[in-house]
Every structure is written in C-alpha cells, then in structure tokens.
Amino acid sequence: MRVDDIHQVFIVGAGTMGQQIALQCATHGLGAIVYDLSRDALDKASEHISDYGARLVREARLTPDHLEAAWRRISFSSRLDDAATADLVSESVPEDPKLKAEVFARLNDICPPRTVFTTNTSTLVPSLFSEATGRPAQFAALHFHQYVWDANLVDIMPHPGTAQETIELLRAFARRIGQVPLVFRKESPKYVVNAMLGAINDVALRLVADGVASVEDVDRAWMIVMKTAVGPFGSLDVVGLDTVWQIIQANSTAADRPECDPRAKLIKDYVDKGWLGVKSGRGFYTYPDPAYARPDFLRGEA
C-alpha cells in the first residue's frame, strides 16, 4: 500500500491522544473514525475535539471553513466492526499488553488484509503484542506527542518483524499529516523525548514529595533557566495525571511498589480527588487559566 491509498484512519480509544490524532488526520484531509466502548467517552471526545478546533481557529491556524470540512471527516463509533473500512489503525487504549493484544486480535478478524496496524503506546514495545495482531509485518508503534499540532514529532518504532515497506509507509504517512517522523533503530520502551522527560519529571516529583520545594517553585525555576513556556508539573497536567499513574504502575516492580514511593503517592492523591490535569479542569494547576501562564508567575508573584 502507498501513502496515497490511506483514506480512512480508525482510532481505537477516545481519550486525549485519540482525540488529537483524529483532529490532526481530519485537518489533513483524511477520514477519522474514533472508536470507544463508552458512549460517554465518545461524547466527551466530541466536545474536546470541538474545543481544540475552536482554539486553532482563534489562533488563526485553521480557517472556519477548514475546520468545518475537517469535522465532516470525523465520526464516532462504539462498534469495532466499523474498522472494516480502515486503511490504518491507530490504537490508544490503556497501557496493558494483554488488553492491546486482545484488541488487535479482534481487529485482525475485522480489517481487510491491506490495513496497517499501529500502537500509540507510551511505555511498551510493539514486540510485546506483535504476534497477536495477526499481521506483524504490517505493525509498528506510531507514537504521537501532545499537543499533536504543536509537538509535531511522531515516533516510528518497528519491532524485529516489521516490514521495511511498513516503516516507509508510516514515514510518509507521518509527513502527510504534518508530523516529523523519527524512525527508531531498535525498540526502546520510553522512546527519546519520554526517556528524557521521565528523568526530569522523576526529579521534580521527588523535590516536591520530599518537601524541598513547591510545585510552583520547581516549575518556575525550570521555566526561568530553560526558557520554556511550561515546567514539569504543568507538562504532567497536559499528559493527564491518570495516565501518569498508569505509567508508574506499569513500570513498578515488586521491589519498587508505587504505594511505597512518595512520588507515586503524590500523583495518586491527585488522581483519587479527580484532579487529572487539563482534561478535568484541575491538576497541579487549575484550568483554563493556570498560574504558570500568568505574567507575574516568573516574578514569583503568582
């Protein structure tokens, strides 16, 4: 299959990343079906995609007509059988290799032989469930970053059985939807950016959990010295603290249980309160007007 043969993308999982991938595909002329078992999740996805689109129009990055045309290309479904029209599948379900394997096994029975499968996993390597796809040569990780239209790097991580033709197709697909492809030479569970950010976030969480500094002061210090628009805790709010908690659990061992780690406890306290970050309106900061975005924040007055 050539990149021009990709017309319909089937997105499994209506969470934050699924929403952004759908909008990115649709604004670049592709059809996007957002699938989730939960109708409530689909309704929320529709609302969030609408909010994303409105913001891009306000920022003059999309015209109203362009956004309207993109909306006509997006649909929502709670029927996995609708994947029968897909040319490419993008999976964004929770970070559980068994769950991902089950989803892909079902999709293999539904999708036509031409369909390429991809996973947006942030912490797992594709070889963990490549055989379950039933088409390992047509499967690789295609990992996006938030927000997709701003942090427009996409990681292409093949497993040892991925065909070279699939890698080249995904490289061309990434460029087609406005992304810069980074093709990996070998599997690595934390990619490049996540590996570096993970180390920074671990230190930031420890500084706060150990009572060394406040959330605001850690972010303020990083933003002033590194000249960034957001600090580690603001970034975690964008990712979603429930997602961060899932990653912590996935990376924990018997000797490193999350309940024994003060960094993990800090995150879990927020998750238990429903403070999940940007998507819930509150995390380490409150939204849509987080303190770190105010002019007086870097002066230590906010």
Domain boundary pick from 183, 203, 232: 183
β pairing state of 180-183 and 74-77 = unpaired
Domain boundary pick from 140, 161, 183: 183
Residue 40 sits in the same domain as residue 157: yes
Higher per-residue pLDDT: 247 or 22: 22
* Tokens standing for residue 263: 């960094």
Contact of 34 with 76, CB cutoff 8 Å: yes
pLDDT tens digits along 96-112: 999 999 999 999 999 99
Residue 90 sits in the same domain as residue 238: no
pLDDT of residue 258: 55
- Inside any domain, residue 224: yes
Given a cut of 50, whether residue 70 has pLDDT beyond it is yes
State the DSSP H helix or E strand holding residue 141, giving kind and residue range, or none if neither: strand 139-143
Contact of 267 with 244, CB cutoff 8 Å: yes
Q: Where residue 248 falls among pLDDT bands split at 50, 70, 90?
A: confident
Reference 276, options 99, 12, 39, 44; nearest CA is: 44
Residue 229 sits in the same domain as residue 171: no
Residue 25 sits in the same domain as residue 148: yes
Given a cut of 70, whether residue 42 has pLDDT beyond it is yes
- Inside any domain, residue 300: no
Number of domains in the chain: 2
Q: Alpha carbon of 35 to those of 91, 130, 195, 227, 287: distances in Å?
A: 10, 21, 29, 39, 27
pLDDT tens digits along 168-222: 999 999 999 999 999 999 999 889 998 998 899 999 999 999 999 999 999 999 9
pLDDT of residue 263: 84
Residue 47 sits in the same domain as residue 173: yes
Q: Which CATH number belongs to the domain containing residue 260 in this structure?
A: 1.10.1040.10
Q: Residue 277 pairs with which residues in a beta bridge?
A: 282
- Inside any domain, residue 188: no
Given a cut of 90, whether residue 133 has pLDDT beyond it is yes
Q: Where residue 262 falls among pLDDT bands split at 50, 70, 90?
A: confident
- The answer, yes or no, to whether the previous bond of 113 is cis (omega within 30 of 0) is no
pLDDT of residue 259: 58
pLDDT of residue 243: 87
Tell me what the mean pLDDT of segment 232-257 comes to: 80
pLDDT of residue 260: 63
Residue 33 sits in the same domain as residue 137: yes
Residue 255 sits in the same domain as residue 156: no
- Inside any domain, residue 93: yes
Given a cut of 80, whether residue 255 has pLDDT beyond it is no
- Inside any domain, residue 23: yes
Higher per-residue pLDDT: 302 or 276: 276
Contact of 156 with 140, CB cutoff 8 Å: yes
> With the C-alpha atoms ordered 274, 280, 281, 286, is the resulting torsion angle positive or negative?
positive
Structural domain including 207 reads 193-293
pLDDT of residue 19: 97
Residue 89 sits in the same domain as residue 201: no
Residue 45 sits in the same domain as residue 123: yes
DSSP 153-205: EEEEEE-TT--HHHHHHHHHHHHHTT-EEEE-SS--TTTTHHHHHHHHHHHHH
Given a cut of 60, whether residue 254 has pLDDT beyond it is no
Q: Which CATH number belongs to the domain containing residue 9 in this structure?
A: 3.40.50.720
- Inside any domain, residue 298: no
Domain boundary pick from 148, 183, 218: 183
- Inside any domain, residue 138: yes
Helix, coil or strand: residue 139 = strand
- If you ran DSSP here, which 8-state letter would residue 289 be given? S
pLDDT tens digits along 137-177: 999 999 999 899 999 999 999 999 999 999 999 999 999 99
Residue 44 sits in the same domain as residue 131: yes
Contact of 144 with 21, CB cutoff 8 Å: yes
- Inside any domain, residue 50: yes
Residue 163 sits in the same domain as residue 232: no
